[in-house]
Amino acid sequence: MFDGTDTVVLYDELAYEDVLPFAWRPLPHEPSPEVMASLAERNLRVLQFCAALEEHGPVREKVDETAPHAADLLRIELKVNLLLDLVGQILAASQQRPAALPVRFNARGIVWKATAPLPAAGTHGIAEIYLRDTLAEPLRLPGRIEGVIAQDYVEALFVPPPEPIADLIEKLAFRRHRRRIAGSRQPRRG
Does the residue 173 lie in any domain? yes
Number of domain units in the chain: 1
Q: Mean pLDDT over residues 39-55, rounded?
A: 89
Q: What CA–CA distance (Å, rounded) separates 145 from 156?
A: 4
Does the residue 84 lie in any domain? no
Does the residue 63 lie in any domain? no
Q: What is the pLDDT of residue 42?
A: 96
Query: Residues of the chain with pLDDT > 70: what percent?
Result: 85
Host domain of residue 177 = 9-52+97-185
Q: What CA–CA distance (Å, rounded) separates 11 from 85?
A: 34
Q: What CA–CA distance (Å, rounded) separates 173 from 182?
A: 14
Does the residue 158 lie in any domain? yes
Does the residue 20 lie in any domain? yes
What is the domain-level CATH number for residue 29?
2.40.10.220
The H or E element containing residue 76 is helix 70-94
This prediction's pTM: 0.78
Q: What is the pLDDT of residue 59?
A: 46
Q: Which residues pair with 103 in a beta bridge?
A: 18, 112
Q: What is the pLDDT of residue 179?
A: 82
Confidence of residue 92 (pLDDT cuts 50, 70, 90): low
pLDDT greater than 90 at residue 22: yes
Q: Mean pLDDT over residues 58-83, rounded?
A: 69
Does the residue 60 lie in any domain? no
Q: What is the pLDDT of residue 116?
A: 83
pLDDT greater than 60 at residue 190: no
Does the residue 89 lie in any domain? no
